[in-house]
Structure 1
C-alpha cells in the first residue's frame, strides 16, 4: 500500500500461456500536482511502457535491463501502463537482441501494438488487449535448452552457478555466457546477482535485515544491497515516501 493516496499503483499477473515470457503488467497514475521522486531498482526485467503526462504527449518506451539504481521522478498527471518481460521474450516474442538496451531506453513508434492513449483509461482492458497481441507473436519451436535454462534461473532466484545450470541443460558454460552477453549485454552471473537482490526485497520489506538468499555473510549481503539500491538494508526497509517503487509494489505477506 502506497502512503501517498494520490499515487495509484496496480500489478496484474499474465495468463498461463504467457507465463514463460511475461512477469507482470503494471500501472502507475500520479494524480497529484507534484512530482513523485523515485529510485528505480534493478529487477531483472525488460519493460515496455505506454505513458503520457500533463507535460509530455503519449509515447511508448522500451526499457532495458538495469544493473544499478537510478534516480527518477513521476511527473504530475503521469499515467503509465506497462508490460514487464522475462528474458525469453526478447528472442521468442519481441524477436530482438537487447544488449544495446542495458541501462538505457529506446523509443518505440506511438502506434506500437495498436495501443493508444485511450487504452490507458482501463487497466484490465489494456492487459487483455496486449495479451492477445503477444499470444499472436510468440514464435513456435522454442529451443528447449533455453526454456529449461530460464526455468531453472527463475526458480533458483539467482542462487546458482553457471556450471550447475550447464550440466542440467546440457549446454556448455561458455556457450551460455556467450548467449547472455550477445542477447542481453550482461553475464549470467551478473544477472543472477540481480535476481538474488530482487528476491531479498520481500524479506527486507518485512524488516528481515539479514541474508536469506545464499549470500556468503552479512557484510556481503549489505554490500550487494547497497550496490543495487544505493542504500543499506535498514534504510531500504524504511522506504520513506515510497521512493523505492519496486519495494512498494511487492505484495504484503
Structure 2
C-alpha cells in the first residue's frame, strides 16, 4: 500500500488541506476497509479499478469514478474490486463551499459525481485531463489551475462571503476570521473588500456584532447571573474582553445598559429576537 500527501499552492492553502494518492495492488478477496469521518470533504478521481461502497452489510454501490465525498457522520465500509489507484483533493470543512452553488449539507453522507456539481462538459474535460496525466505532479497542476480559476469567478468570491457569514453565525461570532481563512492574507483582503461592498462592515466587525448579540440575549433574558458566566457562554476570552466589546458597540457597560431608559427599545429587540 502506497499512500502519499502533497501540499497545495500557497493561494489555495486556505481551502485545500492537501492532495493525496493511494495505490494498492490487486488482491483476491480484498477485505472491506472501514472509513472513519475526519471532518473534511474529499474530491476523488478513481484511476484504477472500481471501488464498492457498502450501504448495508451486503448491499453496495460502485463509487463514481470522479466524485465528491461530503461530510460523514458515521463510519462506512469500502472494498476494492481490483487495483486501487486514487488521486484526491482534501478540502477543509469550510473550503469546498467556496466552489459550488449547491448547499454543502446536501452532500453529506454520500458520494456526488462532479458532473452533478460542475456540469457534465466541465466534469468530462477535467476527468479526462486527470486520467491522461502522466504523474501526480501533473494532476496537481491540472486541478490547481481549475480551482484557482474558480476562485477568481465572481460567483465563487460571493460564495466566500456567504460561507464566512454562515460560519460566523454558526459559531455565534466566536470563530476568528484568520481561522476561517487559514491566515491567507490575499483571501482576507478580497473578503474584506466584498464585505464592505455587500455587508457594509468588515468580517471581524460582523463577528463581534454576532457574538455580542449572543451575550445580549443572555443578559436581557437573565439566563445567567454573572458577567463572567455571560462572557464564558458567549465565548469571550474573559470578562474584561466582553465589557470592552460591549462598550464599543453600545456605548455603555452591561450593568448600565439594563438601567438606561434610552435603550428600552434595543433591549426589547434583543430580548425577543
TM-score range, shorter chain: 0.5 to 0.7
Contact 1:50-1:59 at 8 Å conserved across structures: yes
Deviations 1:2-60 (A, max 9, x none): xxxxx221111111100111111111112233425322111111111111433579821
Q: Does 1:21 align with 2:28?
A: no
Q: Which residue of the other structure, out of 127, 135, 138, is the alignment partner of 1:115?
A: 127
Counterparts of 1:20-169 in structure 2 under 5 Å?
Answer: 20-34=14-28, 35-55=30-50, 59-109=65-115, 112=123, 114-116=126-128, 118-119=131-132, 121-138=134-151, 139-140=156-157, 142-143=160-161, 149=176, 151-152=178-179, 169=207
Gap runs ≥5 in structure 1? 1-6, 156-165, 177-253
Take 2:72 and 2:14, find their aligned partners in 1: how far apart are those partners? Answer: 20
CA positional deviation for 1:91? 3.1
Take 1:96 and 1:175, find their aligned partners in 2: how far apart are those partners? Answer: 29
Change (3 A) 1:68 1:124: same
In the superposition, the TM-score normalised over structure 2's length comes to 0.49
Take 2:212 and 2:106, find their aligned partners in 1: how far apart are those partners? Answer: 21
In the superposition, the TM-score normalised over structure 1's length comes to 0.52
Give the number of aligned pairs. 160
Per the alignment, in what secondary structure is the counterpart of residue 172 of structure 1? helix
Gap runs ≥5 in structure 2? 52-61, 169-174, 183-203, 215-273
Take 2:134 and 2:213, find their aligned partners in 1: how far apart are those partners? Answer: 45
Cα RMSD, aligned residues only: 3.5
Change (3 A) 1:36 1:17: farther
Q: Higher RCO, 1 or 2 (CA under 8 Å, sep at least 6)? A: 1
Q: Which has the higher helix share?
A: 2
Deviations 1:195-214 (A, max 9, x none): xxxxxxxxxxxxxxxxxxxx
